[in-house]
Structure 1
Amino acid sequence: MRLNRMSKLWVLSLVLVFVVSMIAGCGGDNKSAEKQFINIATGGTAGTYYPLGGAVAEILNKNIPGMNASAQSTGATVANINMLKEGTVELAFVQNDIVYYAANGIEMFKDKKVDTLKGITTLYPETVQIVTLESSGIKNVSELKGKRVAVGAAGSGVEANARQILEAYSITYNDINVQYLSFAEAASALKDGNVDVAFVTAGFPTAAVQDIASQNQVRLLPVDAAKADEMIKKYPFYTKTIIPADTYAGLATDTPAVAVMAMLVVNEKVSPELGYDITKAIFSNLERLQSSHSVGKMITKEGARQGMPIELNAGAEKFFKE
């Protein structure tokens, strides 16, 4: 009886030693092995944000211990900012002009200020393209008074871009025949002769503009340097850019333009430590972004704060100072 009891005690001791050793062995890596869940808001499946978001999720999962990141299709920038605010996503692709509006409670975020967003990085320019047909005879924004102008969907970022560029040329909506049309609707209206000019904000080449150029000779209206400087002074999220000749069929010359920036933002759930890990993982694996979409080639560490409209996550800021 006594031997049997001693045997049980001996077995129990072995089990306790095993458990303690397992805890001790895992203790050093316990923090890094903790599961971290990141939901990434992108855009429509046919857009640019979606493939980039999938690549970012893959990068984070491969390079941050315990990470479980997933990208989801969304209604893009405005919807993404609201999802960040609600806490249903932690990381999102957005346009920097819309982030500026949200942070300052203006435009579509009037009386709905969102002051919990922090920047990770700006990515690449989304250019405001002012498209007309060669046959219209229009060569400059200053000639748009009295014209039928597609300014984007009502309340959209494109519509705000159009209004701000027209303002730089002292043109208001009272001076033009305003048409609130989406990219696809504007392209159809141009081809059918129902509008004279359309504003499109997107990375170039843009499918909607390519579609027009495949059947018609297009012209892009320039935003001259002085007007661009005036806009940037008032709206600091804009940057200058050039749309190169041959971006679209028959486009013979470079076109000076203004652009907003696609960017990545996080909410307050993302700590400085995680913000650092996210930023470092992305910029250590840029080739994966480049392989996911052609605009990936425009993403650089040197340009990561160009057009940044809000404070950086402290971890991202630390990474860029290294």
Structure 2
Amino acid sequence: MKNKKFLFLSVISIMLLMLLAACGGKEDTSNTNEGSTKGDNKETTSDIKFLSMVTGGTQGTYYALGGTFAELISNETGIKTTAEVSQASAANVNALKAGDAEIAFVQTDIAYYAKNGLLMFEGEPMEDLVAIGALYPETVHLVTTAKSGIKSFEDLKGKKVSVGAPGSGTYANAEQLLEIHGLTMKDIQAQNLDFGESTDGLQTGQIDAAFITAGYPTAAVEALSAQADVVVVPVDSEKAKALIEKYPYYTEDVIPAGNYGLAEDVPTVSVLAMLAVKKDLPENVAYGIAKAIYGNTDKIGHAKGAFIKKETALNGIGIEVHPGAQKYFDE
């Protein structure tokens, strides 16, 4: 009887040991895909679970592209990314610096100023600012209406002109273009308005002209053209060349006829739009951001999507590229 009882207990013990061994051999994989990227066909994990991308005003090109970019990045990296309304380039650099955002739309000229502590960043360089890549030309529009009678920069004297917020990219562009035409902010009645406020002001006659730096066609000017005869004041080639000689991050540009109801091409100048991050962003995350944007340009519905190419993503940036993004372009 004792032998039978001993045998029974032995069998039970063996079965319990086998059960424990089986349970212990299972690997917990419940969190392996959270915050991951798939660069190099190898899934790597990151502690980052959320990315904030600062763009611009709701009627500008940054915001129009931001939603698409956020979705592409979310899908590629598995990190939830959202596009936020902002005051654009200079404010976006400050948001990166303060840790309020991880990705920023920035003009290349503003990125250069920030990196080197110039103009609106005088004495406060952001040394850890790096690029993901260049996007498309940011065309400087000097917009007015036919009823204003303004046809040249010289006609701006004494007029109410929107120049963007002090310290913004648009403000710097306005100041430099006025300078090259022999004018200063003191020669105009400068108004610090955003794009939507500018075009509303033009429509109602509260202002006479507005500087708007954005990829064409930009929503604010398109909306104005539905209500008024839009005029974009040209920058002739001689003035453009003088501007570029002094400020080499500019390039000559043209707003083609048909945009905003224009009957003819309008010569002007542009800088570049780019995406910037901080250097301490994990390499695999920066790689995933670059891959999401430049590997899916066919999914960008905005007209500026045609300019966004991995072959030209490193042209004209002027600051260091994040190693993760550089890795993607090298491949």
Both structures adopt the same fold (TM-score exceeding 0.5): yes
Aligned counterpart, 1:199: 211
Q: Is the 8 A contact 1:239 1:307 kept in 2?
A: no
- Equivalent residue for 1:91, pick from 103, 112, 121: 103
Deviation of 1:58 (Å):
3.0
- Counterpart CA distance in 2 for 1:317 and 1:306 is 13
Equivalent in the alignment of 1:182: 194
Please tell me whether residue 16 in structure 1 is matched to residue 25 in structure 2.
Answer: no
Q: Is the 8 A contact 2:59 2:196 kept in 1?
A: no
Question: 58, 61, 68: which is aligned to 1:55?
Answer: 68
Counterpart CA distance in 2 for 1:235 and 1:123 is 20
Gap runs ≥5 in structure 1: none
Partner of 2:310: helix, strand, or coil? Answer: coil
CA spacing shift, 1:318–1:218, aligned 2, 3 Å: same
- Give the TM-score of the pair, scaled to structure 1: 0.83
CA offsets 1:109-135 (integer angstroms, 9 cap, x no match): 233321111101111222110112334
Q: Across the two proteins, how many residue pairs are aligned to each other? A: 314
Partner of 2:39: none
Q: Is the 8 A contact 2:53 2:70 kept in 1?
A: no
Aligned match for 1:121, one of 133, 148, 153: 133
Point out the structure with max Rg over C-alpha. Answer: 2
Structure 1 residues 45 and 164, CA gap change in structure 2 (3 angstroms): closer
- The CA deviation at 1:162 is 0.4
Structure 1, residues 149-176: CA drift from partner, whole Å, max 9, x if none? Answer: 3222333221111001111112112333
Deviations 1:84-124 (A, max 9, x none): 22334322222223222221223332333211111011112
Deviation at 1:33, TM superposition (A): 5.7
| Cα distance between partner residues in 2 of 1:182 and 1:124 | 21
State the shift of 1:5 in Å.
5.3
- Distance in 2 between residues matched to 1:80 and 1:175, nearest whole Å: 29
C-alpha separation in 2, matches of 1:52 and 1:206:
11
Contact 1:87 1:267 in 2 (8 A): no
Measure how far apart 1:254 and its partner are: 0.4
In structure 2, the partner of 1:241 is: 253
Quick check: 1:151–1:179 contact (8 Å CA) kept in 2?
Answer: yes
Change in Cα spacing, 1:90 to 1:16, as seen in structure 2 (3 Å) is farther
Change (3 A) 1:103 1:46: same
* Aligned partner (choices 276, 280, 293) of residue 269 of structure 1: 280
Q: Partner amino acid for 2:292?
A: A
Aligned partners of 1:38 and 1:90 also within 8 Å: no
- In the TM superposition, residue 312 of structure 1 has moved relative to its aligned partner by 0.5
Taking a change above 3 Å as real, the CA distance of residues 2 and 230 of structure 1, as seen in their structure-2 partners, is farther
Identity of aligned residues (%): 43
1:316 partnered with 2:320: no
Give the aligned partner of residue 160 of structure 2: 148
Report the AA paired with residue 311 of structure 1.
E
- 5 Å-filtered alignment, 1:68-87, equals 68-75=79-86, 76-87=88-99
Given the alignment, which residue of 305, 315, 325 partners 1:306?
315
Alpha-carbon distance between aligned partners in 2 of 1:261 and 1:279, rounded to the nearest angstrom: 17
CA contact (8 A) 1:223 1:258 kept: yes
Instruction: Find the residue that maps to 1:170 and give its secondary structure.
Output: coil
The 3 A distance-change label for structure 1 pair 54 and 6 is farther
Q: Give the 3-state SS of the residue equivalent to 1:261 in structure 2.
A: strand
Distance 1:23 1:149, change over 3 A: closer
**How far has the Cα of 1:194 moved from its partner?**
4.1
Tell me the CA shift for residue 246 of structure 1: 1.4
SS of the residue corresponding to residue 157 of structure 2 reads coil
Label 1:138 to 1:89 Cα distance change in 2 as closer, same or farther (>3 A). closer
Q: Shift of the alpha carbon at 1:195?
A: 3.4
Name the amino acid aligned to 1:62. Answer: N
Q: Measure the CA separation in 2 of the matches of 1:303 and 1:127.
A: 17
Comparing 304-313 with 39-48, which one deviates more in the overlay?
39-48
Identify which of 282, 294, 305 aligns with 1:283.
294
Does the C-alpha gap of structure 1 residues 131 and 118 become closer, same or farther in structure 2, counting only changes over 3 Å? same
Which secondary structure does the structure 2 equivalent of 1:22 belong to? coil
Q: Amino acid of the residue matched to residue 55 of structure 1?
A: T
SS in 1 for 2:298: helix
| TM, length-normalised to structure 2 | 0.81
Quote the Cα distance in structure 2 between the aligned partners of 1:23 and 1:78. Answer: 45
RMSD between superposed Cα atoms in Å: 3.0
Unaligned residue ranges in structure 2 (runs of 5+): 37-41
Match of 2:175 among 145, 150, 163: 163
